[in-house]
């Protein structure tokens, strides 16, 4: 495959203009090492300027029509598709994602803007009549209105598609936006900013400010001009943003530690295939990854043997080769964290069936069996390519283990018993349960988000539009 490298630094986009900065972020090339691009790092003063620009654009955005917003969304989708090859290459290099997955991410980003077109046209409001004594004859026109300025804070693991999932609904609802991407993966967001520039929004309606969270994060999150914050990231980072923000609408999809419960009557082949994909796709760096497999004691050993054999198919290698399925972790620090959790599990009695070794940022696919319930990896988010298999004896025990810890984003249940599937799904404290399949969030048709420390609100194109609007009642 022919590849190209960015030949210049990416700039910030503030108030309708591309601007540089005194500092910059270097973006590591996870495909072959080194630095492949740089992006201007916004200063606190530039972050303030972006907020002021977005604040000034609230009224012009509010006055736009649905027809205008639809045209913007369609243009942005077209621009993304026109840059598909470039965006896919950038995602491979900055996020360490295999080329096949990177292309899929570009497709999903464009499709999310197109789905927002459909949802934007459904913003019709409603007509309400008074039905209580003393209010007979009252009529109310209840209309949706933009919430104002939305601050979008996006993660490194899906730097384009998650950004689209935040931006598309925010713009569809008629809001102004300030986008702060993850500092490790800002280049795809910079290219997306070019796509949005082509849509010709009012000046200040969209602003792109890359930078370190320690330098501009609190400036952005703590500003009174921000009316809603959309964030995808770790639970710790989400709590910090929530502490810094004022009275704003928080729309957060945070950490996950998804359990996959496998009962004796499950289709074991399907369960193994789904759990392998759930554990190892993108080296496990996904909030919806299968973080622990809770296998009934009668099928534990067979499931482990089959999972071990399934892992032969998970090929690491050149990220630009079609057959490559995963690559390095995002950083040395992330590899250190995964290594720490694996060592803790083994020290507490877990069987290391396969893997466990690392080379810099690369952590080989790892299988742990008979993992004790008090191992940290059973309850903490790992974000690494480790399949964790622990056993249970009875259904209530499985539910208790699944509900242990502070996270509650996703879960999976494998069984051929419909009543059991629904009973367990009802009992697990999470935002979404997949029956006989690994957790997956799709394009945003189905709402997703977490409970406990896994988030606030529900993402999804239409559901996010609701989060980014307010209602006004005009009573006659």
The residues carrying an active-site annotation are: 253, 287
**Do β-strands 432-435 and 410-414 pair in parallel, antiparallel, or remain unpaired?**
parallel
C-alpha dist (Å) from residue 59 to 64, 146, 178, 262, 411: 9, 10, 16, 53, 42
354 exposure class (CB count in 10 Å sphere: 0-12, 13-18, 19+): middle
For residue 288 the two structure tokens come to 């919806």
Task: Find all residues with CB under 8 Å of 103, minimum gap 6, and list them.
Answer: 84, 88
For residue 195 the two structure tokens come to 């796509």
Counting every residue, how long is the chain?
476
């Amino acid at each position: 495959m022919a590849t190209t490298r960015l030949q210049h630094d990416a700039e910030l986009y503030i108030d309708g203009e591309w601007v540089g900065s005194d500092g910059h972020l270097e973006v590591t090339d996870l495909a072959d090492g080194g630095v492949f691009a740089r992006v201007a790092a916004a200063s606190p003063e530039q972050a303030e300027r972006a907020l002021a620009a977005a604040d000034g654009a609230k009224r012009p955005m509010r006055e736009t029509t649905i027809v205008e917003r639809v045209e913007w969304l369609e243009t942005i989708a077209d621009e993304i598709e026109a840059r598909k090859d470039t965006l896919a290459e950038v995602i491979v290099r900055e996020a360490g994602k295999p080329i096949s997955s990177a292309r899929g991410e570009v497709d999903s980003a464009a499709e999310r803007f197109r789905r927002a077109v459909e949802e934007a046209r459904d913003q019709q409001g409603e007509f309400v009549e008074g039905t209580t004594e003393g209010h007979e004859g009252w009529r109310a026109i209840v209309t949706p209105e933009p919430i104002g300025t939305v601050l979008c804070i996006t993660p490194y693991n899906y730097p384009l598609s998650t950004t689209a999932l935040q931006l598309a609904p925010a713009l569809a609802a008629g809001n102004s936006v300030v986008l702060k991407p993850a500092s490790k993966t800002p280049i795809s967001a910079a290219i997306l900013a070019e796509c949005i520039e082509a849509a010709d929004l009012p000046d200040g309606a969209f602003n792109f400010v890359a930078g370190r969270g320690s330098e501009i994060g609190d400036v952005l999150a703590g500003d009174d001009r921000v009316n809603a914050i959309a964030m995808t990231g770790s639970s710790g980072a989400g709590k910090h943003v929530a502490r810094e923000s004022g009275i704003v609408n928080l729309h957060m999809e945070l950490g996950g530690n998804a359990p996959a419960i496998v009962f004796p009557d499950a289709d074991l082949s399907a369960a193994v295939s789904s759990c392998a994909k759930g554990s190892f796709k993108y080296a496990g760096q996904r909030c919806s990854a299968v973080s622990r497999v809770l296998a009934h004691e009668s099928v534990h050993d067979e499931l482990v043997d089959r999972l071990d054999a399934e892992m032969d198919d998970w090929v690491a290698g050149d990220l630009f080769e079609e057959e490559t399925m995963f690559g390095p972790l995002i950083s040395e620090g992330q590899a250190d964290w995964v290594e720490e959790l694996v060592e803790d599990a083994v020290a507490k009695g877990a069987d290391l069936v396969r893997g466990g070794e690392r080379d810099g940022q690369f952590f080989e696919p790892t299988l742990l069996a008979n993992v004790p319930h008090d191992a940290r990896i059973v309850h903490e988010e790992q974000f690494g390519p480790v399949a964790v298999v622990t056993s249970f004896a009875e259904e209530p025990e499985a539910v208790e283990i699944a509900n242990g810890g502070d996270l509650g984003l996703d879960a999976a249940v494998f069984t051929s018993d419909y009543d059991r599937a629904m009973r367990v799904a009802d009992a697990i404290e999470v935002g979404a349960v997949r029956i006989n399949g690994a957790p997956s969030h799709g394009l945003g048709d189905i709402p997703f988000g977490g409970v406990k420390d896994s988030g606030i609100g529900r993402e999804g194109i239409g559901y996010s539009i609701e989060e980014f609007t307010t209602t006004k009642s005009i009573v006659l």
